[in-house]
Structure 1
Amino acid sequence: MACELENQLNGNTLKGEHIIDGEKVMVTNSSNIKLIKEPGTYCGITMINNAFHLGAEGGNIVYSLTLTFSHPVTNVGISFGGADAGEAFTFTTNNNQTIQLTISGRCRVLIKITGNKIDIPDNTNVGGYITVGGKWFTQLNIRHNGKKAGIAFSFCLDNSSAL
């Protein structure tokens, strides 16, 4: 799965009604997250303007983003970029069950997945595509570990499934 630029949803376009598997799904998200006006390209992955930003210059602040779906979903696509060595982000759902994280993109070998957590061990400005699936959920939380300057995220629902 790739969350290509033309399919990415940002802080302005993710909120609202989307058709997923023929279902009308309302999506909302926590609103205190900073948006990155022009996030750039990382490992060949170009991020959409106004992508969500988890983190802060200088680090030491833990941020999280919660998405809420009006119907159960799975296989939510996520594009991310700008991750530096030492940064990590954890995915949890409202059912607290183990979810599957799969990663693709040119830099996938630079990214470590352990359970519901993704670590960037050594490199800077890493990007990739993530699919969060394996279970059905109506709420998805992404939590940044507070290290470094943070990571940009955008979302793709075009390959997602809904009940």
Structure 2
Amino acid sequence: MIRLFPICLLFLIKVTVSKEADGNDCKGCFFEDKCRKYEEEWLEKLEIMCATRTCHRMSDVEWKVYAKSVFCLTGDGECVENGTTWAAPEDDECWTHTCKILGTRNIRIESTSGGDCADATTNSPNERRNRRETSLRKTKRGPNGPTEPTFYSR
């Protein structure tokens, strides 16, 4: 009987520690099924963008998640800064992509057919090549600044 009690106690402690927090237990921002602590920063990768996010306390009972900085997301999952150019093959054709971050609320990846897909970085493509754009509006504006992302594409 004496040996069973410590084993049961350890089992209960382990179960309690491994339990995932829900929105009611979270003492910070409960965002995308995760509890984030006050001032915690994390990198989030979305459709065509990466965002460094942080959790801010608005009052004793209100917390908000903000995007501190944004980047473009390449096809291989790398986050790149404004003005970065890269080449990538798509549908048996090489495309040159350029990251355009316009202000704090709009991200665009401009793509031009052509380029050297064997080279990681490329020079500016010729003006006569086909162009396409993908846009992503980063955030909605709330009374206290940017809030959750709003997505759209053209």
Higher RCO by CA contacts (8 Å cutoff, separation 6 or greater): 1
Larger radius of gyration: 2
Same fold (TM over 0.5): no
TM-score range, shorter chain: under 0.3
The TM-score with structure 1 as length reference comes to 0.26
More strand by share: 1
With structure 2 as the length reference, what TM-score do the two structures score? 0.27
